[in-house]
Structure 1
Amino acid sequence: MLAKLVTREQATECVRDGVRLMYGGFGTIGSPALLIDTILEKGVRDLTLIGIDAGYPQVGIGKLISHGRVRKLMTTHIGSNPEAGQQMMDGRLQVTFCPQGIFAEKIRAGGVGIPGIVVDAQMWGEATEGGEAVVFGGKPCWMEPALTADVGIVYAKQADTYGNLIYDKSARNLNPLVAMAADITIAEVEEIVPAGELDPEKIVTPGIFVDYMVNRSGGGNG
């Protein structure tokens, strides 16, 4: 049996100053709130965050931004978090925006080992950092680099002891892609069952992608 179930403190030992931290969730839906609180309590700084939004000022991932723990944010929008917008205007937070569908595809590419994706230059505008101009099908395009992270934090409704994950409806959002694209993936889970009890047809993320699990209901200690 794989010893993936650990305390929240043990799970987040790999989250240190300056890491690239990727996260699932949209607003509060599918957000690994317990793991985010633990990272905040650790006091780590200079994080690079990669996720679909900036959360809310005092909820979820937005807490890390509001407390000044984030140096760079790669996201699709920050409209729900005025604090993120203010920090960006003040030059305290470097923000890189990306259209939501392309953003998700860049993370998917990172998870499956593809170095980048081709984007129509007329629809995209300017290439982001690391991108380069290419011609594809006779059209001007940008080669956009895939997105990966040192650590990824995700939220799931159920897991078994091998780390196979099942998500709940829209809480699935970006979580499966994040789980694939990080060097170390930590899953915050509502319910953990013995191996073999999950319906294989409902498993979205295979346990091979999950390094550690934290039991949300048990405070992370199983």
Structure 2
Amino acid sequence: MKRLTLADTAAAIVSLLILTAAAWIATYGPETPIPVHFDAAGQANRYGSRYELAATLAGLAALNLLVAWMTGRQAATVADPVRRKGLRSGQWLSIIIMGAVAVFIGWASLGPAAASGVSHPGGSMAFLAFILLITGATLGRVSPNPFIGVKTPWTYKSRLAWDRSNRLAGRLMFWLGAVGLIASPFIVQPAGLIGLIAAVLIAAVWSGFESWRVWRTDPDRQPF
């Protein structure tokens, strides 16, 4: 039987907190419609009930447990300590992101936007930049897994392609996150948020291309 680690325990606690928040919202949340989706300018363009928000958070809690459990189980079966450490890094990254996303969803629907129907894009940009910063600082150390990282056909066929493409993606995301956090209070919105999203898409394409380039020249690659 797999022994529970600190990361496993943290995943359970974070999921329990999210589920508790979901239960509270379903029981005591606003009975009037609340904003559940926003356009790029921060204007609410869809409203839902407290039960929809609670169900979204409950699903996020379940997803957090699933990803953490499967990643932790994979780490427990790996003999290589370096790869095991990399899988644990991925597990922690997943927990942090899931927890942060849950907080952001709750704040976006129940915070100031609940009354005004407007969420400032600068806050969304700052949140996205924070996620990029945390992801970028960790991604280069994450070992191959089914959930987190640059997952292309070539990274599954070459460990070198996985390592190099994820290191590149990590560096790009880290610096995009750092610049985004600094710029979010000052840059004109929603241009800043849209620009950051576009930069993330470019970084993703670049990292995917890097995985193909490295796989093509890797003498130890697996053929298709």
**Which TM-score applies when normalising by structure 2?**
0.23
Write 1 or 2 for the structure with the bigger share of helix: 2
**Which TM-score applies when normalising by structure 1?**
0.23
Q: Which has the higher contact order (CA 8 A, sep 6+)?
A: 1
Write 1 or 2 for the structure with the bigger share of strand: 1
Larger Rg belongs to:
2
